[in-house]
């Protein structure tokens, strides 16, 4: 009888140990460490920032609704002699082609922000592909330039979406600093937020029609200059040649 009790206890302990082992392996497979220890590819990630020793930062503006503050942003960028990237939704391009032309003629970079601003992961691959093709075609019809960058609406992405973007020849760009201009932060609060978080290789998110963005932008650009940063567009910040994107979305040169 005692033997049976001991044997049952041993079996229970073995079962618990096996369960813990299975859980540990499952967590490892889902983590970035799996790439090293098990040779399993972790989840794909867009580019949030770039690893660099240079004090360079990229600023970007998403444009989906409204355009009344766009000219003010363009004037400020010109005044400070800096570049930026505008991610444009297809319906915005078709509604405001004159601003698309102004952005392009100012020498600024244009990427796509989808065609109809959907939650991309909720679409099937055919719908995703159509979102990219139609938005790029709208931009190209005005600028005669094919976009090379994509920013997902709501920052919402999936492996399937990233694969579709890769096949379309588009790099997917997120951000590591959100100005929160979409929350109508004051110009002072927005400036303090951005300037306190910036690092070499950062990508900053703004919106073209943020209520206080035109007031905050000059302060931010001056602050970045005083910190020794060069402000540029996303494409200029990205690495060329072989690179990796880690689990946190940092783009790094392959060693």
Catalytic residues, by residue number, are: 62, 207
Q: How many CA atoms lie within 13 A of 189 on its CB side?
A: 10
Residues with Cβ within 8 Å of residue 189, at least 6 apart in sequence:
none
What is the helix (H) or strand (E) element at residue 49, kind and residue range?
A: strand 49-50
H or E stretch including 112? strand 109-112
β-bridge partners, 230 = 56
Read off the tokens for 43: 């989840």
How far, in Å, CA of 188 to CA of 186, rounded?
Answer: 5
Structural element, H or E, at residue 26: helix 2-30
Q: What is the separation of C-alpha 33 from the centre of its chain, rounded to a whole number of angstroms?
A: 23
**And the tokens for 99?**
């601003």
Q: Alpha-carbon distance 234 to 184, whole Å?
A: 24
Q: How far apart are CA 236 and CA 84, in angstroms?
A: 10
The tokens for 152 are 């997902």
């Amino acid at each position: 009888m005692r033997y049976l009790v001991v044997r049952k206890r041993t079996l229970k302990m073995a079962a618990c140990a096996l369960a813990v082992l299975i859980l540990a392996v499952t967590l490892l497979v889902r983590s970035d460490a799996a790439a090293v220890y098990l040779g399993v590819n972790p989840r794909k990630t867009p580019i949030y920032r770039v690893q660099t020793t240079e004090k360079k930062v990229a600023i970007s503006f998403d444009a989906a609704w409204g355009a009344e503050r766009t000219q003010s942003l363009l004037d400020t960028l010109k005044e400070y002699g800096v570049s930026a990237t505008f991610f444009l939704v297809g319906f915005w391009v078709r509604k405001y082609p004159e601003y698309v032309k102004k952005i392009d003629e100012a020498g600024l970079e244009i990427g796509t922000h989808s065609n109809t601003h959907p939650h991309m992961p909720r679409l099937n691959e055919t719908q995703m592909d159509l979102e990219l093709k139609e938005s790029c075609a709208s931009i190209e019809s005005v600028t005669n330039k094919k976009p090379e960058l994509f920013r997902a609406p709501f920052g919402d992405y999936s492996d399937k979406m990233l694969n579709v973007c890769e096949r379309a020849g588009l790099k997917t760009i997120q951000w590591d600093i959100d100005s929160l201009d979409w929350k109508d932060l004051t110009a002072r609060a927005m400036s303090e937020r951005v300037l306190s978080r910036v690092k070499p290789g950062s990508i900053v998110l703004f919106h073209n029609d943020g209520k206080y963005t035109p007031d905050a932008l000059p302060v931010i650009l001056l602050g970045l200059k005083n910190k020794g940063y060069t402000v540029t567009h996303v494409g200029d910040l990205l690495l060329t040649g072989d690179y990796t994107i880690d689990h946190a979305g940092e783009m790094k040169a392959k060693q």
